[in-house]
Structure 1
Amino acid sequence: MIRAIRRGAAAIREAGEKYLLKFPSESKEEYSRRLKSSPWRPEFMDSLQTLSAKPFTKEVKLAEDATPAFEDIAQNIDGQGNNLHVFAKDVFEGAVSMGAHGILVDFPTGTGAVTLAQERAQGVRPYWVPINADDILEVTTEQRGASRVVTYLRIKESRIEKTGFEQRRVPLIREIEPGAFRVWREEKRADKTEWVLDSEGAMTLDEVPFVFFATADKEGDQYVRPPLLDLADIQIELYNALSKKEQTFTIAASPMLTANGMAAPDDDSAIETGPGRVLYAPGGEGVNASWDYIQPNAANLKEIREDIREIIEDMRRIGMQPMTQKSGNTPALAFQFDGEKSFTVLQSWALGLKDALEQAFVFTAKWMKSEGQAPSVMVHTDFAVGLYGAQEVNALLEARKEAQISQETFWDEMQRRGVLGPQFDREAEKERLAIENPPFDPEGQLDPVVA
């Protein structure tokens, strides 16, 4: 469901009755029309992107003591031109939406290099591969001393094969265990589908270089309940509510005509409702014929709009979007509390990402046979800053005015909130302030230039 929601309106409509309920007596043609006209509002994706963007308002980078070799790898972490920041953002968004994401630290095989010097001369280096949660088929771990290590991994992959002008995606399954890997290819026979061995090779590490990053509690080695699953359910609820609204407003805009006291056409067809239809109510002796319209009550339309508005508000509250004060019936304190709660959850996720990235660098160091220690990764986790908006800045200004905090502390806090940009240079600022605010000279004896 979450994967379909992330793909958008086309994927949801393609799923048909799986996500848009069909009325018991609704014809296939009527349902098809309603399916095509049902609105889609991507509230789930809006919340997901808002949550996922928070740790990346500042660059994800290596600590200052990282070696040049690791810095070079971080600039092209996946071998496809993406740096550590971009790669980490995709991993984090995948883990927030699906509950987990994997990082496989792979190494090229078949290069012919025998020694470390030969590998470096050829530019051979490890690279990271992101693995979606629903592509992880099996993970097996075991306890080795104080560490839990992966001893078996089975994942889904694919490969594009070209024949003439046609391209075909071939499903693959990769198995990895200490000492070896195998790739299986799907082949469809006349009567069945088989998996045949496509390639295999050796792996020198004594464990599978795989990092499983989860944003919720794990069940076993690989199963996780997505933290936004309830939000996804409400997204489908909103989709169905919008469909009903569209249907009701369509009928309201094109009311049905009734023919009271008139005979219906001579056919045995079922009574149909909707725009452009006529309902006949045959009358007896003494009944005056009349024409009239049937349409929804205006009060019902208002209730439908209010219901949809409440669903959207619930989604935004549960999705932790309203992180600032809100006017209206809901107390601002309640929304601030939701914001603080979301930041607490986000902080734990961001710290988990930091651990996952650092573990991936441990595997990278093993592949590189590096003598130095794997580098630390800097991930932004100071989310509570700015929760109360302008109130925080005003409080800092007042504290500085009353000399309750130093100038240096004031600058630090303003930089944390993004009020002062990354180009701010405090040493240069001190020189400017000295020029604009010369020392106080009550006797008037100092030379103006010196002052």
Structure 2
Amino acid sequence: MSDDPSKTLPAVDAMREDWAIVDPLMGGTRAMREAGELLLPKWPKEEDCDYRKRLGLSTLFPAYRETVKNNTGRVFAEPIVLGEDVPPAVVDFTDDFDRQGNNLQVWAKSFFTQALSHGLCHALAEYPNIKPSGDTEQLVTLADARAVKARPYAIMIRPQQVVGWRVSNDGGEHVLTQFRYMESVEEEEGAFGIKCINQIRVLIPGAWMTYREQTDAKGMKTWALYDEGPTSLDHIPLTTLYTDRTGFMTAKPPLLELAYLNAKHWQSQSDQDNILHVARVPMLAISGIDDDTWELKVGTASATKLPKDGDMKWVEHTGASIEAGRTSLIDIEDQMRVAGAKLLQKETKSVKTATQAEEEAAQEMSPLQTMASGLEDALDQILQHFAELSGLPEGGHVQVQGNFDIDFAPETTLPLLLNMASQGRLSDETLFSEMQRRNVVSSDIKWEEEAAKIATQGPALGAL
């Protein structure tokens, strides 16, 4: 038994082992250096000062972070489209989705980035705990809410914040009955300063609690109840976006193998930089001299007198191991490209409605398309929570329109499209739309207007 709210579940500890690699890779060179020996082991008998110098000179090839960024960019190649069934009040919430100035598009992109890099991410639909002036009761009417401009908003809960949860089985359906996560709040300190306080928030259906660490009379650190209050819903308005689900509230990073390769590249790059440093500094070797008191002067303005049969020469690295290291780095980079592109490789998925099941139709979807579909469902659920907190029956739906083509390199595909158009095998309108899809032409330009401009501008220069 444990009454410690900070105690993590074994499932959380298992996921954190993967995040210990992912977090530094997403943080860049500084975060990788801070990880120290976890991702850059010390060599046997290597002195601490030598290791710190080697670590301080190591730089990250950001393959993992850039792959996450590029795949996220594909999902958000087009703006999120709000369905006609989204109530006007909920539409207004999307302009400032998190009450931090981020609209739905910006917030959702950050939300998906976290889910793609770590395997999952959570969003809590929150309502401000504002009370009418002079009253101790919570807001209970829509008029009270409008008077103080209270409205629902989304809080992104990163997977690293999660401490644990409890779930019940209701007729085979998993129902979340408790959710615990760590958060940091700022409080004023003095006239100008602020201090950050870590606290654990516990959510249960219909209520919430916060715990803060305190020191008891014996000097022991304990977590004590700091604040609590009710909520207006009989369930926890939490939404979880999975990109590689392994179970309820658990997942693994879909690009984990790429993360391992990137960490291996970090180590190999450090070795390569170190050997280059050593190889660039030749060593002076002297033979035929036994007198330790013999004075040696080396420089362009001095000469060295050697005894009979004495010899002195510079010894340089042959460079064979340098080339082998360079080849190894190139091989790892090629492997990372393959591992990073796997999200765009299509798999045969049976996505069937009742009608499709009768027709036994199947649809090909890439893993990234499936993740984008999951993002749609997650955003729909968040809007539904907004509606419930606002006293509305439905929150509506959204549509995520991304670009999931494997071959999406304009420098290679556009010449082919232009050649097809010049041979009359592709219409001008289709060529125009393909250029828009590749962001070569602005999406604000309409084909009908552009076609009219082309018709009035006269013959092309090549036709004169």
Same-fold status (TM-score > 0.5): yes
Residue pair 1:13, 1:36 contacting (<8 A) in 2 also = yes
> 1:415–1:243: structure 2 CA closer, same or farther, 3 Å change rule?
closer
Alignment of 1:143-158 (within 5 A): 143-144=169-170, 148-158=174-184
Say whether the 8 Å CA contact 2:344–2:368 is kept in structure 1.
no
Displacement of 1:398: 6.5
Q: Which moved more, 1:415-424 or 1:65-74?
A: 415-424
SS of residue paired to 1:319 = helix
Q: Does 1:160 align with 2:186?
A: yes
Pick which of 379-388 and 40-49 moved more: 379-388
Structure 1 residue 111 and structure 2 residue 134: aligned? no
- CA offset at residue 134 of structure 1? 1.3
In structure 1, distance between residues paired with 2:413 and 2:53 = 52
Match of 1:16 in 2: 36
Taking a change above 3 Å as real, the CA distance of residues 392 and 312 of structure 1, as seen in their structure-2 partners, is closer
Q: CA deviation at 1:161?
A: 2.6
Q: Aligned letter for 1:3?
A: D
What whole-Å deviation, never above 9, does each CA across 1:278-298 have from its counterpart, x for those lacking one? Answer: xxxxxxxxx954334443212
152-161 or 424-433, larger mean C-alpha shift: 424-433
Q: Counterparts in 2 of 1:52-451, with a 5 A limit?
A: 52-112=72-132, 113-144=139-170, 148-164=174-190, 165-188=192-215, 191-219=219-247, 221-263=248-290, 288-320=309-341, 340-341=345-346, 344-371=366-393, 373-384=394-405, 387=408, 389=410, 393=414, 412-429=433-450, 431-432=452-453
Deviation at 1:60, TM superposition (A): 1.9
The aligned amino acid for 1:83 is N
> Residues of 2 paired with 1:291 and 1:27: CA distance?
30
Distance 1:404 1:292, change over 3 A: closer
In structure 1, give the amino acid aligned to 2:244.
Answer: A
**3-state SS, counterpart of residue 66 of structure 1:** coil
Any gaps of 5 or more consecutive residues in structure 2?
1-20, 133-138, 294-307, 348-364, 459-464
**SS of corresponding position for 1:369:** coil
SS of the aligned residue for 1:173 comes to strand
Q: CA deviation at 1:354?
A: 0.9
**1:334 aligns to what?**
none
User: Given the two structures, how large is their TM-score scaled by the length of structure 2?
Assistant: 0.77
Shift in alpha-carbon separation, 1:208–1:358, aligned structure 2, 3 A = same
Residues 158, 346 of structure 1: CA spacing in aligned structure 2 closer, same or farther, 3 A cutoff? Answer: same
Output the CA distance in 2 between the equivalents of 1:224 and 1:251: 44
1:238-262 C-alpha deviation (Å, 9 max, x unpaired) = 1111111122111111122333344
1:186: how far off? Answer: 1.6
CA positional deviation for 1:425: 2.4
Using the TM superposition, give the Cα deviation of residue 387 of structure 1 relative to its aligned residue in structure 2, in angstroms.
Answer: 2.9
* Contact 1:385–1:416 under 8 Å retained in 2: no
List alignment gaps of at least 5 residues for structure 1: 267-286, 321-336, 438-451
Is this contact kept in 1: 2:241–2:375, CA < 8 A? yes
Instruction: Kindly state the Cα deviation for residue 368 of structure 1 after the two structures are TM-superposed.
Output: 0.7
Residue 145 to residue 376, structure 1, CA distance change in 2 (3 Å)? farther
Deviations, residues 223-249 of structure 1 (Å, cap 9, x unaligned): 211112222222221111111112211
Counterparts in 2 of 1:397 and 1:246: CA distance versus 1, 3 Å: closer
Shift of the alpha carbon at 1:366? 0.7
Q: Distance in 1 between matches of 2:274 and 2:418?
A: 54
Per-residue CA distance 1:160-185 (angstroms, 9 max, x = gap): 23322543321110011111110011
Q: CA RMSD in A?
A: 3.0
The one-letter code sitting in structure 1 at the alignment partner of 2:88 is: P
Tell me, yes or no, if the aligned pair for 1:252 and 1:295 is still in contact at 8 Å: yes
**One-letter identity of the residue aligned with 2:156:** P
2:7 corresponding residue in structure 1: none
96-105 vs 26-35, greater mean Cα deviation: 26-35
CA distances 1:109-138 after superposition (whole Å, capped 9, x unpaired): 242432123223332111100011111112
Which deviates further from its counterpart, 173-182 or 292-301? 292-301
CA contact (8 A) 2:80 2:398 kept: yes
| 3-state SS of 1:93 partner | helix
Specify whether residues 260 and 341 from structure 1 end up closer, same or farther in structure 2 by C-alpha distance, changes over 3 A only.
Answer: farther
Greater RCO, CA 8 A, separation 6+: 2
SS of structure 1 residue aligned to 2:107 = helix
Equivalent residue pairs, number: 400
Which position in structure 2 is the counterpart of 1:25? 45
Contact residue 343 and residue 367 of structure 2 kept, 8 A:
no
C-alpha contact (below 8 Å) 1:170/1:186 kept by paired residues: no
CA contact (8 A) 1:251 1:295 kept: no
Which range is displaced more, 239-248 or 339-348?
A: 339-348
1:294-321 Cα shifts (integer Å, max 9, x gaps): 432122222222211222222223222x
Q: Check 1:24–1:417 CA distance in 2 against 1; reply closer, same or farther (3 A cut).
A: closer
